[in-house]
Each structure stands twice: as structure tokens, then as C-alpha cells.
Structure 1
């Protein structure tokens, strides 16, 4: 068994996949350095240095065989953080090379392709819910701040949505679980990576004076417009699962 250790980035993963073909590895696994725990003392450990030219060559081959939508599907598998993500993507690349004239991502008879399809549905659902349930809070510096805790690493997938929708105000979206976020300053929309996790207690102390008033008004509005006789909790939870309630001001 050969184990290829990469830096955890998507380009690093594509570099590792390129080297699988370059060095003709047969029995191989790809693991990020962060998640690596050596169990087989006889395994051949190889360090992979991310090289953009190698990653680009894999992307070009994939675009030719499965198109940009297919690449996007593999990106969502990577962002799912599934324990088998690397091996699933490697399997898909191998199949796309072997069957270049076919859209291998539609071959649901293959167990790897079927799992890729299921992961895509789950990640896409989480992405959609993040665009619907994110709530911004106004801070003292007039930046609108939102905290999220998604099951999957969907922040890169919602970047364009929020950049296009909120172009006239400064905002930040911070992933509590993964300790990184998006910052839009009216000109650019970039990822930021704080050295330490944001202290939420101190964060609430920086609310704009108007924010608490806005929250109170919204909670009152939600209560007054609610029709108790038409309450259907089962249907409500179906559309707004409880794990998303922590984002919603009206649920506090």
C-alpha cells in the first residue's frame, strides 16, 4: 500500500491524483496530512507537494471528459468532508480516463458513482438551506455579521450568492466549526482565516445599538402574525429542521 499525503487543498488532491498516474501507483490511498494516522507500519508513505500545473492538467482532462458540471460535482464531494472523499474522487477520475467517451458520473450501477451522487444531493441541500437561513446581525462598525455551522464545508458554494445579493453593504459570514469565513468590503469578497476562534460572548458585545431593537421587533412581529389554530409543527420542521433554528432570530 502506498499512502500519498497532501496538504488538504483541492489543488493538492488533484496533484496527488496526477502522481497516481505519473508513477503508476496501483494499491494507493490519498490522505490529508491533518487526518493521517499511520496504522500500517509497512505502508510506503509519500509526501505530495502541491503543484498548480499538475492540478491544472487533471482539471483540463476532467473538463474534456465530464465537463465543468462534472468537476463541480467532484468539488462538492471534496467539500463534503466525507472520510472516503479522496478515494471517491480518485475512482471517478480513473473511470473518466478509462471511459473518456462516456459521462461516467451517470453510471449509478457503480457503487462509487452512486455514493458521489448521494453526497452531491446532501451537499446541495445544505448549500440551499444556508442561503435561506443565514441571519445577519449589525455590528458597531456597520458590518453585517452572520455565523453558520453547516454539516458540510459549503462556504465556497454560497460565496457567489451572497456577493451578488448583498452588494451595497459590508458583511461577513463565519463558519463556527471550521474557523474561517467570507468578508465582503464593497469591492472584493475574500476568505479570511482567524488565528483563533471568534469569542461569541465578546462578539455580542459589539452589536450595533439598533441590533437588539431590530431583533425584538422581529420577534414581536413573528409572534403577532402567527396563527395558532393553523400551527402544523410536523410540516414546519420538515421545511425548517430544528438544527437550523439556532440561526433564526424568531426562534430565540
Structure 2
């Protein structure tokens, strides 16, 4: 059994691919340093991330794969599923080794799984675009906590940059304790303390942190939502299909 350990980055994964072909050593598991290791290991290698080597692997893939397939790979990476590393490693290896590549061979289990995960990640990103609710803070920044299943902030940032180009905002992933801050010019990554994170996970900012108008507007929105609801037509099952319950915590109208 051969194990690779790496730094849990996409460049690190591509560096694992480079090492495997360079040394003719192909792993049974690719794990981070903190992951639990199997009991019986024949060989273990710690792979150092090297940008130059990862770039060489990616350039080789660009020659073999369409843009759609490349984006699917990146979406699978953002899923953060336990199977991600070895699934992507096998997919990359099959495309490198096969003269024509295998990206359209949906009879292959790995190709099919790549497509399935990529579709789930894309759906999560689309739902997040719909369900983000900003709250105006006292310092004029529009803040939106979210808790996506997958790490999809990078997939939605361009949408909000374009739609809200003239206002500063933060979209914050409370599951991963990281967010994106847009100052009307550029986007940077931000993070909060664990104490602040506990408050953010409640979904509602304290009144003293909100602008003078925000509470009023939130109440108006709730009243509008309530007044347009036809009680006789309430269908909670259908509602949950279109608006999954895990998003409700951060939806003003559902609080």
C-alpha cells in the first residue's frame, strides 16, 4: 500500500500527480497530514507542493481536456468530499494515459462520478446566488452570512461583483470561517474570531451592529412576505424543494 500526504491544496494535488509519474509510484491513498492513516502501509511519501510542477501538470491537462471538463474538475475539488483526492487523481491519470482522453466516456465510473459531483456543486452555487440576504451594518457594509454544503464562494463572487458593483459587501461562509470582502474595487478574503463566528451562525446581527434603517426594512420585508402568502396554498414540501431548509436561518423572511 502506497500513501501520499500533502498540504490539502489543489496545487498540492497536482504536485502529487507530478511526483507519481516522475517516481513511477502511484498511491492507494492521498491524505493530509492530519488524516488518520491506514494501519498497514508499505510506502509513504510526503509531497511538497511546487507551483512549477503543478503548473506543468495543469498545462498537460489543458491540452487533453475541454474547458467544461477542467471546470468540472475544479468543482469536484470545491466539494471537499472525502473521495475527492483519489477520484481526481484517477481521472487525471486516465486522461493523461489515454491517447484520446476519457472526459466523454460516461461508461467509466470515475468520469460519471466527476460529472455527478460537479452538477451538485453547480446547483449549490446557483441556490446560493438566489438565497443570499444582505444586512446593512452600521458602518455601511452589506453583510450576508451563508452556510453552503460545498466551498462555492469562488463560484458566486463574480455574480455579486457585477450585480452590486457600487456597494461594499461581505459574503461569509460560517461553515468554513472564511468570507469575501468587496470594497467596490477588489475582493479579498477575510475571517473572524471564533467568538464572532458563534454569533454569526445565529443568522441575525445584533441591532447595534445594523444601520439605522436595516431593522425597519427587514420588518417591512417580513410583512410583505406574510401579506403575499396565500394560506390555503401553503405546500411545505414543495417549498422545501425550491428553498431547502438549511438556507432558512439566513433568510430574513423565514426568521
TM beyond 0.5: yes
Q: In the alignment, which residue of structure 2 is the partner of 1:217?
A: 220
- The separation in 1 between residues aligned to 2:177 and 2:236, in whole angstroms, is 33
Q: Is the contact made by 1:176 and 1:197 (CA closer than 8 Å) also made in structure 2?
A: no
Q: Is the contact made by 1:172 and 1:181 (CA closer than 8 Å) also made in structure 2?
A: yes
- The separation in 1 between residues aligned to 2:198 and 2:37, in whole angstroms, is 36
Among candidates 229, 235, 239, match of residue 238 of structure 2: 235
Q: Cα deviation per residue 1:224-252 (whole Å; 9 max; x = unaligned)?
A: 12222333333222211222211211111
- The separation in 2 between residues aligned to 1:140 and 1:213, in whole angstroms, is 14
Deviation at 1:67, TM superposition (A): 2.3
- The separation in 2 between residues aligned to 1:30 and 1:17, in whole angstroms, is 10
Q: Is the contact made by 1:183 and 1:189 (CA closer than 8 Å) also made in structure 2?
A: yes
The correspondence of residues 59-208 of structure 1 with structure 2, limited to 5 A, is 59-102=58-101, 104-194=102-192, 196=194, 198-201=196-199, 203-204=205-206, 205-208=208-211
Give runs of ≥4 in structure 1 deviating > 6 Å.
Answer: none
5+ residue gaps, structure 1: none
Q: For this pair of structures, how many residues does the alignment match?
A: 250
Which secondary structure state, in structure 2, belongs to the residue aligned with residue 106 of structure 1? coil
Give me the CA root mean square deviation.
1.7
Deviation at 1:65, TM superposition (A): 0.4
Q: Is the contact made by 1:171 and 1:183 (CA closer than 8 Å) also made in structure 2?
A: yes
- The separation in 2 between residues aligned to 1:146 and 1:236, in whole angstroms, is 22
Q: In the alignment, which residue of structure 1 is the partner of 2:36?
A: 37
Q: Cα deviation per residue 1:187-222 (whole Å; 9 max; x = unaligned)?
A: 111222445463453852412221111110100111
State the TM-score, normalizing by the size of structure 2: 0.92
State the TM-score, normalizing by the size of structure 1: 0.93
5+ residue gaps, structure 2: none
Q: 1:197 to 1:75 in 2, by over 3 A?
A: farther
